[in-house]
Amino acid sequence: MLAWWEFFFDGCCCGSLALLYAKIRIGQIESGSRKEPISEVSQLHSTLRELNEEKERATAMKQSNVARFGASIPLILKIIEQNAGKFTRKPIGPIGAYIELKDNSWAVAIEQCLRNLLPAFLCDNMQDRNILANLLRKSNILSFTCIVAKFTDRRYATASNEPLQKYITVARQVVISDDNVFNALVDQGQIESVLLIESDELARTMMSRSVIFFVSFCIFF
């Protein structure tokens, strides 16, 4: 999922950099033919340097953002990007980077529910998983969490297996930007059937008064 600053720099900025390189090259040729410096070339060099610095800051921002899921995560992402052509489907992850909360008051409860899945990567098949493991081993990354599941790029239809709309579930309190990540969280975390309840007392009251269908368990905060 591209954050707004990734989109800006990967699209607009890269185009600007290419244009600047072309202008600088033309300016250098013209300057060489007249054997005199051109002030515009110096200005373009300065602008190019500023754009490169901005892009580096954006990259650092992205890395620091995903590093909260594990110290090795930025390096894993770099290795995946550098070797993207070796995979049948490029691995996706970490899962936590594709999740946004609708209501931050549930952050602790949802993190408690998904804590083992947030740093995980998804691989389309075992061959891709083994390729990734071998690449990481070369960089001395010997332990990482990987879920192997065929990428369908189609989100599960879970409505018929969810509790009534009046109940708050993990799935209803998060926005998941990738369909394959959503499916993995349903398969591995049962997010569509985990209830979020505001207190232990309320949870006990709710569960004792009636049977709530399609609930795997409750988390209270």
pLDDT tens, position by position, 160-196: 989 889 889 999 999 999 999 999 999 999 999 998 9
Q: CA geometry: angle at 73 spanning 72 and 78, to 5°?
A: 100
What are the residues facing 175 on neighbouring strands?
A: 100
149 Cβ contact partners less than 8 Å away, ≥ 6 residues apart = 122, 123, 124, 180, 183, 184, 187
Residue of higher predicted confidence among 173 and 10: 173
> Is pTM, for the whole model, over 0.85?
no
The pLDDT-based confidence of 84 (bands split at 50, 70, 90) is very high
Tokens found for residue 220? 């209270």
